[in-house]
Amino acid sequence: MSMRIFGKWISIISRFSGIYYSEHMESLGLSSGQYIFFLCICDHPGLTQDELAAELAFNKSTVARVVASLEKNGFVERRVNPQDKRAVNLYPTQRAEEISPRVREILDEWNLRITDGFTSEESDVFEALLIRASENARRHAKLAKEKNKL
């Protein structure tokens, strides 16, 4: 039985996705590394940086750096949580709300490109399998971390 290297294909798709996103989002003021944070904040106004880190599986320092950049570029507003003055909630700005439909269009366009030749059913299965693989990766990474093996 030959060894499958799923990570290779995932990595290739990720790299080409980054190139496409960079080319198409640069004019909006977003980088390919920021869009996922941007959309998560647009979809979940008021979430904290810790919640953002957990949702996207990034460390807190990376999230802090990206959020600071999004704030500097006028996409995110930080507000002190009225119930817990130590916590800060993240909200999309009007500028973010205005460009988020275009960001979603760019993602949809790329999804159509990478699933070129797929039937509708194959695209649905592909997405479902990616979601399951992501959930498995998250669960196993958490278990490994708990065992100090990550």
- Asked whether residue 52 falls in the same domain as residue 82, the answer is yes
Which residues does residue 88 pair with via DSSP β-bridges, in sequence order? 80
Q: What is the pTM of this model?
A: 0.86
Predicted confidence (pLDDT) at residue 87 exceeds the cutoff of 50: yes
For residue 3, the model assigns a pLDDT of 74
User: Is 102's pLDDT higher than 50?
Assistant: yes
Cα separation, 37 vs 90, whole angstroms: 11
> Residue 21's closest CA among 87, 102, 77, 79?
102
Mind listing the pLDDT tens digit for each residue in 116-137?
999 999 999 999 999 999 999 9
- 68 lies in a domain? yes
What is the rounded distance in angstroms from the CA atom of residue 42 to the CA atom of residue 25? 16
Please, which residues have CB within 8 angstroms of residue 87's CB and are 6 or more apart in sequence?
48, 80, 81
What's the structural domain count of the chain? Answer: 2
CATH number at residue 19: 1.10.10.10
Let me know whether 48 and 83 are in one domain.
yes
Domain that holds residue 142: 115-150
β-strand 88-92 against 47-48: which pairing, if any?
antiparallel
**109: in domain:** no
For residue range 48-84, list pLDDT tens digits in order: 999 999 999 999 999 999 999 999 999 999 999 888 8
